[in-house]
A and B are shown apart, each in its own frame.
Chain A
């Protein structure tokens, strides 16, 4: 890849959660892990699936599907864990996020990222950095720093009653 071209491009990792596609900036992604044995942690909110042994450290695993109220498929076999380095205020936090599968690495011009519409969206605009048009559908660019550092379980915009 040419560097000069990349300068104005943002690179994203797209992944599936249920039927929807989301994207996260690759700068945040440390690694994608397959089929991990997750150890349950007692007494935690439901979106924390547990912990794994990641390079000798304890890594908490968040289930974004529960956060977004998306259906959780039972075939955990296919699930992947995306290891993310997050920034919360001054704190650096490393977590693993469960996804139903990673799709693609996409390179997008800055101008191709569309702002999040104020209305008619079922996700809280706060948790999205923008949207990318991909064919007929949209890929939602997650603001992972926000999504995974809030305790709020349901990040779906409560104003919108629409559901899958």
Chain B
């Protein structure tokens, strides 16, 4: 077989294995909460078993063996021979991490990893206790118990898996096949020894699967339905019980069957299993080749989205030929129709493309579950983790980049927020602390709240600390919000004692920076003794946005459409007469900002100006412009470093006619509105507001 193809295949295994490990971890966490749940035990066992199966298939022998040991524990648990307890969980969680490392370094080249491997293996052995750990040649052993029960009815099947180039190209997920196999019976996978391979006279790579099951031929066939071209299912002459190496009496079997039996036997011998598809010489090289390609991040996409994509592609091609024909016939009406269709299609394409990039936040919440479990054990705090809305979807890029800052927030919650059980009792709080992770979507925005019911942040302490560190003057007057903002400053770590968990100098400034880089914002609310809430707001996707295009003078501006509440008309004169920059719109008195004045745009304002009411969370204000152009699907381009300090502009977009429209950062504009309202002191550079004469305030 070609090396390259094999690598691709192994890469797929690593991918699948990571998914399996995530699934396993999730189930383990659930199981820890509900130790008597048999279904969960089964699920954990199955995940391990599948991992073991596909592991040996791809020559990840060490992983396969290791998982086998681990699986033994759970097999004993489900047989009721072993009670589930904390040490078991500890070892299992540690093993999950360990296997993740093994996936990167499956031959234990790293000495540290090798030591760890030995350590863990020993721990597992201790747990399995009297039951001697079986060498992989008896890989069937955990299943043996089960099999013994059904021995009378079970048959052993030999399934030959032909791994041709063609099969690899089809990129079938064999993990599913093994999951299905596990449902009908016990199986193990082995690699044929070279001599068997010769005797079987096959050109392609072969794997053997030994299956012991009560299922009928048809049922087995069903499992292999999608890969039926690549498998041969043969009923083995072997007795259904575990084949022993000395039971190779061939008797009157045909030569073929005996070869198969030999194959089965050889397959169960450790030497053969170790004879992994990669030969020793090229092995390490291939691994290295494999590594860079591993870095390509993958994403799993719902088939509905792909179906939609295919539908769109077909529509596009139909419309394209319509357009070609119409152009040839110079049929303007039909050309117009086709162009309209393409217009519609392109926005559907955009939505589809963006939706493909979306992944649920669950990916993150699972990680957090694990972190909270480990940390709370470590710190002797009891913490419940409540997750709500983790099905909310977010751009893959965002999710990947959020893990770090979120972990940091959660670490802080556990370490500084939640008190130890005694402290909580003393404060009349339930002994278990709670950390909530709540996600919700509002329009194009995602709100994520991470909150704890701990001590809250001591504002006086922040104040003292800030003065001490020279961040603020001792007599500075700061609002609560401003005071809390201080913890986002670099070098501001409020941890009273440096603990291992947090307060290592990298502080909340990292969190703030990471989230700001993703065009998000983070806010803190805290109440002493009650807890702290971090609210993170993010745009679901950041590349293309629906905007409203407006004009002031010769300049074009774009506002995110979802922030626009209503558009109104008002005469220029009325606006000039408003001395306090407030305007009555639909019964409410709203502050307004004139773009002409704010950006010192030359020229006379039209007699009637447009009022665009912006709604941001709990703040409403109005923007005054010359005219409204209409809707614009903006591909947002960065302004570049020269213009980056333009606070009120968050980017630019090139319009259909080649002109450039600027994205208004309504967040920044709203801050001006509030600061004008609160302190009558606009941000620097001072934003000129309408003066009494309604003339430009020159800078």
Given contacts A41-B646, A42-B646, 15 further A-B contacts (CB under 8 A): A37-B658, A39-B660, A42-B595, A43-B646, A43-B685, A44-B643, A44-B646, A51-B643, A53-B654, A53-B659, A53-B660, A56-B637, A57-B640, A60-B640, A60-B642
Question: Is B298 on the interface with A (CB-CB < 8 A)?
Answer: no
Interface flags, A30-51, vs B, CB<8A=1, else 0: 0000000101111110001001
Q: In the complex, A62 Cα to B643 Cα: how many Å?
A: 11
Report which of B554, B555, B556, B660 forms a contact with A58, defined as CB distance below 8 A. B660
Of the A-B pairs whose beta carbons lie under 8 Å apart in the complex, a sample of 27, sorted by A's number, is A37-B659, A39-B660, A40-B554, A41-B643, A41-B649, A42-B600, A42-B601, A42-B662, A43-B600, A48-B643, A51-B639, A51-B652, A52-B660, A53-B654, A53-B659, A53-B660, A56-B654, A57-B640, A58-B637, A58-B643, A58-B660, A60-B639, A60-B643, A93-B640, A93-B641, A94-B640, A95-B642
B638 at the interface (CB under 8 A from A): yes
Q: Are A53 and B642 in contact (CB under 8 A)?
A: no
| A58-B660, A60-B642, A93-B642 known; A43+B555 contact, CB < 8 A | no
The residue in chain B whose Cβ has the minimal distance to the Cβ of A57 is B637
Is B648 in the interface zone, CB < 8 Å from A?
Answer: yes
Interface residues of B (CB under 8 A from A): 554-556, 595, 598-601, 637-643, 646, 648-649, 652, 654, 658-660, 662, 685
Report B-chain residues with C-beta under 8 Å of the C-beta of A58: 637-640, 643, 652, 654, 660
Q: Does A91 contact B (CB under 8 A)?
A: yes
Which A residues are in CB contact (< 8 Å) with B660?
39, 51-53, 58
A42 near B641 with CB under 8 A, answer no
**Bound-state Cα–Cα, A58 to B636, Å:** 10
- The residue in chain A whose Cβ has the minimal distance to the Cβ of B652 is A58
Rounded to whole Å, the gap between the CB of A12 and the closest CB of chain B is: 24
**Binary contact track A77-112/B, C-beta < 8 Å → 1, others 0:** 000000000001001011100000000000000000
Q: Which residue of chain A has its CB nearest to the CB of B642?
A: A60
Could you tell me if B599 and A43 are in contact, using CB atoms closer than 8 angstroms? yes
- B362 to nearest A CB, angstroms? 36
Residues in A neighbouring B646, C-beta threshold 8 A:
41-44
Residues of A at the B interface (CB closer than 8 Å) are 37, 39-44, 48, 51-53, 56-60, 62, 88, 91, 93-95
Q: Tell me, in angstroms, the Cα distance from A44 to B599 when the chains sit together.
A: 9
Docked CA distance A156–B642 (Å): 21
Identify the closest chain A residue to B655 (Cβ): A53
Closest residue on chain B to residue A148 by CB atoms: B642
Contacts of A41 in B (CB 8 A): 643, 646, 649, 662
CA A32 to CA B555, docked complex, whole Å: 25
Are A42 and B598 interface neighbours, CB within 8 A? Answer: yes
Which residues of chain B have C-beta atoms less than 8 A from A59's C-beta?
Answer: 640
Q: How far is the CA of A91 from the CA of B641 in the complex (A)?
A: 9
Q: Give Cα distance in the complex from A113 to B685, angstroms.
A: 43
Question: Which residues on the B side are within 8 Å of A53 (C-beta)?
Answer: 654, 658-660
B638, closest chain A residue (CB): A58
Q: Which residues of A contact B654 (CB under 8 A)?
A: 53, 56, 58
